[in-house]
Structure 1
C-alpha cells in the first residue's frame, strides 16, 4: 500500500512523468546538453512552470467550486455564530477556502468588519486567507512531502488563530478607520446556483487568478532555476545556512518587500532547500511574502490606523520567526 501511495504521489503530484518527458525532449535538441548547468536550468524552468500551472488550474477550480457555497454574506453569518477562540478558528478555516492573495483579502476584511464581526476574528481571516489555503497542501506535497505540507498548514492556522486572538484582546476597535465600520453591508441572501453556474464561477476564478499570478510564477521559477543551477551552495549556506542563527530573521525581512503568493514562492523555496537552507528559514520566507507583502501593508494602512497596523505586523513577524527557529530545529523529523 505504501509503495502504491508513493507511486501515485510521484506521478500525480510531483509529476515524475513530466520531468522525464522534459528531459527526453531536451536531449533530442541537437547540440543541447541537459546535464549541463544551462540544461539543468532550462529543465527546472520548463518542468516547474508546467507542473505548477497544471496544479494551479486543477486546484483553483476545485477550491472555487467549493467556495461557491460560501459567498461573503453566508461566511459572515457563519462567523457571527461563534465567539472567543472558536470564532477565530472558524475565521482562519474560512480563510483556507478563499484562494486570494493578501491584497484581494482586504475587501472581504472590510466587509466583515463593517458587518460588525469581532476585530480579532476578521484578522484571523486576514492572516489565514493568503497564508494557508487548500491548494498549498497539494503544492507543498508536490515539491517536498506530505509531512512538510501538513505542518505548514497547521502552523499557518495556529498563527492566524493566535494572531487574531491577541488582536481581539488588545481592544483596538477604535483604531479601525470610520469608513470601514460604517461601510454598508448588502444582504442579498444566498443564491441557489445551478451546477452549471458553479462550474462557470470556478472557471472564472481560474482565469482570474491565473491571469493575476502567472508573472509571479514565471519570476519565481526563474529565480529558483538560477539558485538551483548557478549560485554555489557554499555561498548560500554561508549567508542563510541552517547553522546561521540569523537566517530566519534575514529571510523574513527579505520576504516582506516582495509581492507574490505561494505559487510564486514555492520554486524559490524548493531551490533553497536543495542548496542546504533550513526548512524553517524557507517557511519564514514564504510566510513573510504571502502574509506581509508590502503592497498589502500599504492597502491595510488605508483601513486601519498606525497602532493597529503595527500590532498586526509585530504579532505576525514574531510568529513567523518563532516558526522559523522551531522548524529549523526539528526539520530532521520532517525531511
Structure 2
C-alpha cells in the first residue's frame, strides 16, 4: 500500500475517533454549564474574573461560528460585562478540548498546555482592553436567528435520573455525529494535505521557508490565515508534517489562530452585529493574538 494512503488512513481514523469522543464529552458538559449563571456576571467590579469566565466558557463550547455568534449575542443582550462577551468570542473558535487533545496527541502535552495558556490569557486581555476603550458602543442592537438553539440544562430535564441521563447521552451522541458530519470534509482535506506533504513535498522547500526570519514569517502566517476558512482541527495534522520537516512552531500556531479565530463565515456574521470600527478591532485582536502566541512558541519551543 502506498505510503500516502497509509498516512492518510492513519491520520483520518485518529482524528475521527478523537473528534467524536471529545465532542461527546463536551456535549455532556454543556448540560451542566449555564451561560446565564451568576458566576459569569459576578461582581462587575471584578473585570478580570468576568473576562476569565467568558474565556473559560468559550473553551468548552461548540467550535463553530453558528454556535459561537448566537451565544455571543445572548451574552450581550443579557447585559453581561462586555469583556466577558469578547473573551468568549475570541476563545471559542481557537480553544476547546478537542483542539487541546489533538495538540497533546500530535505535539505533546507541553505544547498543548502552552497553547491553551497563551490563547486563554490573550482572550481575557483583549476582552478587558476592548471594554476599557468603550467598544461596547460599537455593537448593533440586532438578533441573529438560524443558529443552534440554547441547550437544555440538566436541572430542566424531567423524569427519573435514568431517563434524564438517557436524554443527555442520546442528545450528546446525536450532536457529536451532526458536528462530525459538518467538519468531516475539512478533516479529510486536512489529512489528505498532510499525507501529501508527508510523501511529496521536498524537504528543501520547507527548509527554505523555515529560514525566513520569524519577525516576518509569523505575522505573514497570521495574515494568510485570517481570510481563509481554516478549522484548527483540520490544520493540526498538516502542521505535524510541516513541523517534522523544519517549519517553525511559531509560524504554524500563528496560521492556526489566524484562520480559526477569524474565518470568513464568522466575519460575515459579525459584520451584521459590529460596526466597521468594532470589526476592525476584532480582526486586529485576532491578528495580535496569533502573532504574540507565535513569537512565544518560537521563543520557548523553537
Task: State if a TM-score over 0.5 links the two structures.
Answer: yes
Q: Is the 8 A contact 1:255 1:289 kept in 2?
A: yes
Kept after mapping to 2: 8 A contact 1:101/1:290: no
Query: Quick one: distance in 1 between partners of 2:266 and 2:211?
Result: 29
Larger Rg belongs to: 1
The answer to whether 1:281 aligns with 2:242 is no
Q: Distance in 1 between matches of 2:62 and 2:219?
A: 27
Alignment of 1:179-190 (within 5 A): 179-180=142-143, 190=155
Aligned-pair CA distance for 1:243: 4.5
Q: 1:233 aligned to 187, 203, 206, which one?
A: 203
Mapped pair 1:254 → 2:224 = yes
Shift of 1:89: 0.4
Q: Show structure 2 runs of 5+ residues with no match.
A: 145-149, 159-163
Q: How far apart are residue 229 of structure 1 and its match? A: 1.6
Q: Partner residue of 1:155?
A: 118
Q: Which residue of 1 aligns with 2:147?
A: none
Give distance in 2, aligned partners of 1:237 and 1:119: 44
Asked whether the 8 Å contact 2:228–2:263 carries over to 1, the reply is yes
CA distance in 1, matches of 2:5, 2:300: 33
Q: Distance in 2 between matches of 1:168 and 1:201?
A: 36
19, 28, 39: which one aligns with 1:78: 39
Q: What displacement does 1:242 show?
A: 6.5
Query: CA separation in 1, counterparts of 2:65 and 2:203?
Result: 32
| Alignment match, 1:118 | 81
What's the Cα RMSD here?
2.2
Residue deviations 1:19-68, cap 9 Å, x none? xxxxxxx4xxxxxxxxxxxx222111110000000111111111111111
Q: Distance in 2 between matches of 1:247 and 1:226?
A: 23
Give the match for residue 236 of structure 2: 266
- Is 1:191–2:160 an aligned residue pair? no
Contact 1:240–1:246, Cα closer than 8 Å, also in 2: no
Indicate if the aligned counterparts of 2:194 and 2:241 stay in contact, CA closer than 8 A.
Answer: yes
- Deviation by residue 1:160-214 (Cα, 9 ceiling, x = unmatched): 1011111111112221102259xxxx9x985146111110121122112101100
SS at match of 2:215: coil
Structure-2 change in CA distance of 1:244 and 1:319 (3 Å): closer
Give structure 1 stretches of 5+ with no counterpart. 1-25, 27-38
Of the three residues 176, 179, 200, the one matched with 1:209 is 179
Q: After the TM superposition, which residues 34-53 of structure 1 pair with which residues of structure 2 at under 5 Å, given as runs?
A: 39-53=2-16
Q: Counterpart of 2:197 in 1: which secondary structure?
A: helix
Q: Is the 8 A contact 1:242 1:328 kept in 2?
A: no
Question: What's the CA shift string for 1:78-133, capped at 9, x where partnerless?
Answer: 31224311100011011111032234301110111111112221010011111111
What is the number of residues matched between the two proteins?
290
What's the counterpart of residue 50 of structure 2?
87
Cα distance in structure 2, aligned partners of 1:111 and 1:78: 16
Q: CA deviation at 1:300?
A: 0.6
Residue of structure 2 in register with 1:309 after alignment: 279
- Superposition TM-score, scaled by structure 2 size: 0.90
